[in-house]
Amino acid sequence: MDVFEAVRTILAVRSYADRDIPLDVVDRIIESAHLSASSMNRQPWHFVVVQDRDTLRELGTAVTTGPYISGAALAVAVAVERESRFGMSDASRAIQNMMLTAWSEGVGSNWAGFGGLDDAASLLGIPDSYEVVAVIPFGYPDRPLGVGRKNRKPLGEVVSRERFGRPFGG
């Protein structure tokens, strides 16, 4: 799948088949986080990779906006150094890279939580000097998806050409 096709078709997947993700695919997902760019190349992050079914179930409780993590085959908790000014943007790039890499292999995922994930942090033994930005569950979708069926504002509403408000198209 080329990059634009992955961007065009990826959807939030919140329900997963009971099927393991092959090791080489897991490794590529994690490597895509590791390789991500960050401000001044500081890499102020730590990724906790969870495949243990009991821990996944507990994460589904700890992350209140992501109960479906309990049914995932894999989850990655993305933590950033609290002191880092760019932590959130750096983490966002790593998250998007992981999600697109997974999608290109047929593996669905979603972004769950947005900071304040202290229960997830203590469950995973993440030190206080880090904040858990999000937990990303991964798994093969358990049902056919409306691939590429995105609900977005019209392009003309959010894109201008040269100056704000000047139509991009036409």
Ligand X SMILES: Cc1cc2nc3c(=O)[nH]c(=O)nc-3n(C[C@H](O)[C@H](O)[C@H](O)COP(=O)(O)O)c2cc1C
Give the footprint of ligand X on this chain (CB under 6 A). Answer: 11-12, 14, 65-66, 110-114, 150
Query: Please, which residue, 8 or 82, has the CB nearer to ligand X?
Result: 8
Sequence letter at residue 150? K
Instruction: State in angstroms the smallest separation of the CB of 114 from ligand X.
Output: 5
Instruction: State in angstroms the smallest separation of the CB of 170 from ligand X.
Output: 26
Cβ atoms < 10 Å from Cβ of 56:
21
Instruction: State in angstroms the smallest separation of the CB of 5 from ligand X.
Output: 15
Joined tokens for residue 57:
């179930």
State the residue for tokens 């979603």.
Answer: 110
Instruction: State in angstroms the smallest separation of the CB of 165 from ligand X.
Output: 26
Query: Please, which residue, 10 or 124, has the CB nearer to ligand X?
Result: 10
Query: Please, which residue, 41 or 151, has the CB nearer to ligand X?
Result: 151
Q: What is the number of the residue whose Cβ is closest to ligand X?
A: 65
Nearest to residue 111, comparing CAs of 145, 78, 152? 78
Beta pairing class for 130-139 and 74-81? antiparallel
Nearest to residue 141, comparing CAs of 21, 8, 54? 21
Joined tokens for residue 108:
């669905």
Query: Please, which residue, 7 or 127, has the CB nearer to ligand X?
Result: 7
Cβ atoms < 10 Å from Cβ of 67:
14
Q: What is the three-class DSSP state of 77?
A: strand
Instruction: State in angstroms the smallest separation of the CB of 126 from ligand X.
Output: 18
